[in-house]
Chains A and B, each alone.
Chain A
Amino acid sequence: MLKIEQISKVFYPGTVNEKTAIEYIDLTVNDGDFITVVGSNGSGKSTLFNLISGTFPVTGGKITLNGKDVTNTPEYKRAFTIGRIFQDPTKGTAAQMSIEDNMVTALYKGMKGLKITLNASKRGYFKEELKQLSMGLEDRLKDNVGLLSGGQRQALTLLMTVLSRPQMLLLDEHTAALDPRNAQIVMDLTTQFIERYKLTSLMVTHNMQHAIDFGNRLIMMDEGRIILDLTAEEKKSLTVQKLVKMFKSIKNREYASDEDLLTT
């Protein structure tokens, strides 16, 4: 599905602010994978997502999507395959437009034509879809999205993202800005949609328990590299304590080897 080979990203190269965000990462995501991604702040999780979706170009390396080299493909073209949800609930919807206008824009990918497709049967379909959120949004089709709460907006974003049936879902801490109750609702919807539409997914989370509970694979990032890649089998017996311990031992090993380098 997605193959990342030796990609790297350096910000502001050649200046005093030069910063390496991603250091030669290799990652193969198979069809149907649901990978949770953990790592501390600045470990490169969001940068990795930005590179996969094409928000900014890679400094080096190659990205292959469905067997096609997309390394230089613009973001809007990759969006045909990839649906992305951000931490900020305002990023996925247009606040000054009604729910139905937002949904009609999200219905299919690609350039829009001069047709009026928003009709009674579309509205009925939108209502049915909105009912799944059980937030009462099905009665508010004409309300501006700006009037919704963060949780409602994020749930709507999720629904809108899967409306066009992408093959892949990138979830960038999409529940982190919500209160616990809404986070739970959005997370439940996420797993429902992933199962129903068989979406290959990557989910960044700061919640270690979520990282363990969800998905069939777990990767941990640190300083722009993937330092841990656990299979479903290895995840089964995993606990938060064990995960933290693993992280610490990897870090220690690195420090130790750095010291070795200095002493020898």
Chain B
Amino acid sequence: MLEGIFVDGLIFSIMVIGVLISYRILDFADLTCDGSFATGAAVATMAIVNGTGLATALLLASGAGAIAGVITATIHNRLKVPGLLAGILTMTMLYSINIRILGGRANVPLLRIETLYTRFPEIFSMLSNPWALLVGTLIIVLIVKELIDVFFRTDLGIAIGALGSNEQMIVSMGIDPKLLKVIGMALSNGLIALSGGLLAQYQGFADANLGQGMVVQGLAAIMIGEFLFDSNKISLITLRVIFGAIIYKALMFLGRYYGYYINLTPSDLKLLTGILVIISLIVAQTRNAASSADARKKALRRNKERREALDKEAGHVEN
């Protein structure tokens, strides 16, 4: 049972790293992921059903997600519309495309077919079934995390980080910000689709509605992670995202499992997620306000000291 939460959280954490890249690193409010998550699930499922290898299926899934990201970024770049609108457009179009990918159905099962999650217990045969799933997922997540950490230490990755912080700086450095956005969005949605592809295999089906509300869930996980510790190092930022994702899934599990005591139904979980994000925003804001009030006080004190020093100097001159 407990292992299940961790597997769920770990698969989810890859999606959250994708959301982290668009929202936090690129500063691009991207809603594509509601569509690209399901795209990843659909592509992986159909690839497996049609007998491609498991690795190929996952590669195809993230490739499809990356293309979705490129489309969003291109709409934003070419038509000069806000990222939010570009993302909504792609997401809406993806809903139709996902059903097409699934062969005109809204739901395709992966029963009696070999998936990663039937393979893991075979590979880690010394472990019990739930633990094998957990270890297998953990290895995938750690590989993804390591690759992302390395990427954001390369010159290209650092430049993408700078773009989110200050676009003018990137232009001044002779880099086309549009191209960086395309790369960043491809990476972000590629990860999101990869996560979708894993989830489809774990739960044994792909569903056209799988991505609904993913953005908000991802943001909730990011914010939970940000409460854990403060850092500007990418390896720690991705680490806290993984923790945040697992904690989020645990909270939702608690909500589902014990919620009926207070009359909560599974359909209330989206409401809870939204409230969780709002609470996180309020806490972050009060924190910010407190620290800027502190900074203001310090600045006033410094000003006063400077004033006094200047007055003293002026006094000396007059004397």
A residues near B (Cβ < 8 Å) are 74-77, 79-80, 83-84, 86, 90-98, 101-102, 104-106, 109-118, 144, 161, 164
Contact = CB atoms under 8 A, between A and B. Distances in A.
Contact of A96 (B151, B165, B175): B165
Contacts of A84: 172
A95 B166 contact: yes
A98 B158 CA distance: 10
Given A91-B169, A106-B173, A118-B153, A112 B179 contact: no
Contacts of A111: 156, 175-176, 179
Interface centre among B155, B171, B173 (most CB of A within 10 A): B173
B287 to A, nearest CB: 15
Given A92-B172, A115-B154, A98 B166 contact: no
Interface in B204-245: 232
Shortest beta-carbon contacts, A-B, top 10? A109-B174, A94-B165, A112-B155, A94-B162, A112-B156, A79-B174, A112-B159, A96-B165, A94-B166, A80-B174
Contacts of A76: 170-171, 173-177
A97 B162 contact: yes
A238 B273 CA distance: 69
A98 to B, nearest CB: 6
Contacts of A114: 151, 154-156
Say what secondary structure dominates the interface of chain B: helix
Interface of A is mostly: loop
Contacts of A77: 174
B161 interface: yes
A185 B226 CA distance: 38
Which of A80, A111, A118 has the largest count of B CB atoms less than 10 A from its CB? A111
Interface residues of B, number: 25
Contacts of B151: 114
Interface in B140-156: 150-151, 153-156
A80 B170 CA distance: 12
B168 interface: yes
A75 B158 contact: no
Given A111-B179, A112-B154, A75 B232 contact: no
A164 B173 CA distance: 8
A106 B175 CA distance: 11
B112 to A, nearest CB: 41
Q: Which has the most chain B C-beta neighbours within 10 Å: A96, A106, A114?
A: A96
A118 B158 CA distance: 10
A96 B237 CA distance: 13
A101 B162 contact: yes
Contacts of B161: 94, 96-97, 101
**Of B159, B162, B174, B179, most A-chain CB atoms within 10 Å:** B174
Given A105-B155, A113-B155, A83 B172 contact: yes
Contact of B162 (A79, A102, A113, A115): A102
Contact of A113 (B150, B156, B166, B168): B156
A59 B150 CA distance: 45
B173 A109 contact: yes
B154 A110 contact: no
B175 A110 contact: yes
A91 B170 CA distance: 10
A86 B153 CA distance: 28
A83 B177 CA distance: 17
A176 B171 CA distance: 23
B169 A105 contact: yes
A200 B233 CA distance: 38
Nearest to A90: B166
Interface in B165-202: 165-166, 168-177, 179
A108 to B, nearest CB: 8
Contacts of A118: 153, 158
A88 to B, nearest CB: 10
Contacts of A96: 161, 164-165, 232
A79 B156 contact: no
Contact of A97 (B165, B176, B177): B165
A74 B162 CA distance: 20
Contact of A74 (B153, B165, B176): B176
Contacts of B177: 76
A97 B171 contact: no
Contacts of B171: 75-76, 79
A113 B151 CA distance: 10
Contact of A112 (B150, B172, B175, B232): B175
A118 B152 CA distance: 12
A79 B173 contact: yes
Nearest to A94: B165
A115 to B, nearest CB: 6
B174 A104 contact: no
A74 B177 CA distance: 11
27 contacts: A76-B173, A76-B175, A77-B174, A79-B172, A79-B173, A80-B174, A90-B166, A91-B168, A94-B161, A96-B164, A96-B165, A97-B161, A97-B162, A105-B158, A105-B170, A105-B173, A106-B173, A110-B173, A111-B175, A111-B176, A112-B155, A112-B158, A113-B155, A116-B150, A118-B153, A144-B232, A164-B174
